[in-house]
């Protein structure tokens, strides 16, 4: 199989590229990536010389770039997206452009090639918050942020192209990912790297927001299972089955690094912050997939990776990231210090 992996230089996409090249010796991979702040060719440097790998620098909103990258492919796996909720509060327009218009541009190209399968990588955040129980794939979508709304829009575009044009569509909705190579704006890598430098850990609200956490390679294997075994038009939740609140995550990181809890700063909560996410993965489990990495093992490995790879994350936490971090947290941290 020849796969076009959009956003393949990002966190989850780069793991999917490595997994595919390792697990399927007959497969070829083309990566199309715009290389925004979260796209990093260093994430793919270990496969750069693989003859079954090709990189194309381009935007999924550019029909010419998409057409060139799609030559000869059997399936498209769309990881390319703006993904950070906090950024979507500052700049929602870029999320609509990439997550909706980008999906549309890819689908327009795919409908010209009836044999190509299109997998849209989505998120559990499209369901919104749930007090108890878990969402299944047939539940109503109720996104709470510009980010989750844009991902829901990309899904709707994909399903519309299936109904209108007969495009072979599969959608996956994954829970919160963690692991190596995650850009240090997200909770776990941000708190790990801040703690390593004895910097404050800005914990939103009371820290009681609950997320289902999945190790990135388990998520990739779930996506791969849906791609290769899922039914056309099928939607599959990819759950880690590890619900933890943000306090637990924070304390675990500090304990693994031997750091003091005095680094925690409870800061003003972000607007519209969903309290709890939870999804049921029965449909995907029925296809033979299951998570392999325990949360305890995965967190220990992730913390160790960031501790040992300052060469990867320190350059990312300067420049643009520092500007964004200041805009997002400076006022909240200052107010926390005054309390």
Asked if residue 113 is part of any domain, the answer here is yes
What are the tokens at 202? 């800005």
* Residue 147 appears among annotated catalytic residues: yes
The count of residues in the chain is 339
pLDDT in the model for residue 330: 78
Q: Strands 243-245 and 210-215: what pairing?
A: antiparallel
pLDDT in the model for residue 11: 98
Asked if residue 290 is part of any domain, the answer here is yes
Expressed as residue numbers, the domain containing 70 is: 1-330
Q: What CATH number does residue 152 fall under?
A: 3.40.50.720
Domain total for the chain? 1
Asked if residue 138 is part of any domain, the answer here is yes
Asked if residue 214 is part of any domain, the answer here is yes
Asked if residue 114 is part of any domain, the answer here is yes
- Residue 65's alpha-carbon distances to 31, 40, 55, 105, 208, in angstroms, are 11, 19, 12, 10, 43
In whole angstroms, give the CA distance from residue 11 to residue 272: 25
**Segments in 24-82 forming alpha helices (H):** 63-69
pLDDT in the model for residue 339: 66
* Residue 215 appears among annotated catalytic residues: no
Asked if residue 34 is part of any domain, the answer here is yes
Q: Say how many C-beta atoms besides its own lie within 10 A of residue 255's C-beta.
A: 12
| Long-range Cβ contact pairs of 127-130 (< 8 A, separation 24 or more) | 127/173, 127/277, 127/279, 128/274, 129/274, 129/275, 129/276, 129/277, 130/276, 130/277, 130/278
The single residue of 147, 161, 183, 215 carrying the catalytic annotation is 147
Q: H/E element holding 7?
A: none
* Residue 108 appears among annotated catalytic residues: no
Pick the closest to residue 14 from 50, 40, 49 (CA basis): 40
The single residue of 33, 125, 224, 274 carrying the catalytic annotation is 125
Average pLDDT per block of 10 residues along the chain, 339 residues long: 98 98 98 95 97 98 98 97 88 94 98 96 98 97 96 98 98 98 96 97 96 98 98 98 97 98 94 94 98 97 98 90 77 77
Is-contact 36 99, C-beta < 8 A? no
Region of 196 (left: φ > 0; alpha: ψ -120 to 50; beta: rest) is alpha
Asked if residue 339 is part of any domain, the answer here is no
The single residue of 59, 99, 124, 185 carrying the catalytic annotation is 124
Asked if residue 70 is part of any domain, the answer here is yes
Cα angle: 119, vertex 142, 250; to 5 degrees = 85
In whole angstroms, give the CA distance from residue 124 to residue 135: 9
């Amino acid at each position: 199989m020849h796969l076009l992996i959009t956003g393949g230089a990002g966190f989850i996409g780069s793991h999917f590229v490595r997994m595919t090249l390792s697990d399927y010796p007959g497969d070829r991979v083309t990566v199309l990536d715009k290389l925004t702040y979260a796209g990093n060719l260093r994430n793919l440097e270990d496969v750069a010389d693989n003859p079954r790998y090709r990189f194309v620098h381009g935007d999924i909103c550019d029909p010419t770039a998409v057409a060139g990258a799609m030559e000869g492919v059997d399936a498209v796996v769309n990881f390319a997206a703006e993904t950070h909720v906090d950024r979507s509060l500052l700049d929602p327009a870029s999320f609509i452009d990439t997550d909706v218009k980008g999906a549309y541009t890819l689908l327009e190209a795919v409908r010209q090639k009836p044999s190509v399968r299109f997998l849209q990588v989505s998120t559990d955040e499209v369901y919104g918050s749930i007090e108890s129980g878990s969402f299944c794939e047939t539940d109503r979508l109720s996104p709470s942020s510009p980010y989750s709304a844009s991902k829901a829009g990309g899904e709707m575009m994909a399903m519309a192209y299936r109904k209108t044009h007969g495009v072979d569509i599969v959608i996956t909705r994954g829970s919160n990912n963690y692991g190596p190579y995650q850009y240090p704006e997200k909770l776990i890598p941000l708190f790990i790297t801040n703690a390593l430098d004895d910097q404050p850990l800005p914990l939103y609200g009371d820290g009681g927001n609950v997320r289902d956490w999945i190790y990135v390679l388990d998520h990739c294997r779930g996506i791969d299972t849906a791609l290769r075994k899922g039914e056309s038009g099928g939607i599959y939740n990819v759950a880690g089955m590890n619900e933890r609140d943000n306090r637990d995550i924070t304390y675990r990181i500090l304990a693994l690094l031997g750091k003091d809890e005095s680094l925690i700063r409870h800061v003003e909560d972000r607007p519209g912050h969903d309290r709890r996410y939870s999804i049921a993965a029965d449909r995907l489990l029925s296809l033979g997939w299951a998570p392999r990495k325990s949360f305890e093992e995965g967190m220990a490995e992730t913390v160790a990776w960031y501790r040992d790879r300052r060469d990867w994350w320190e350059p990312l936490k300067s420049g643009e990231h520092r500007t964004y971090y200041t805009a997002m947290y400076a006022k909240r941290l200052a107010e926390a210090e005054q309390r």
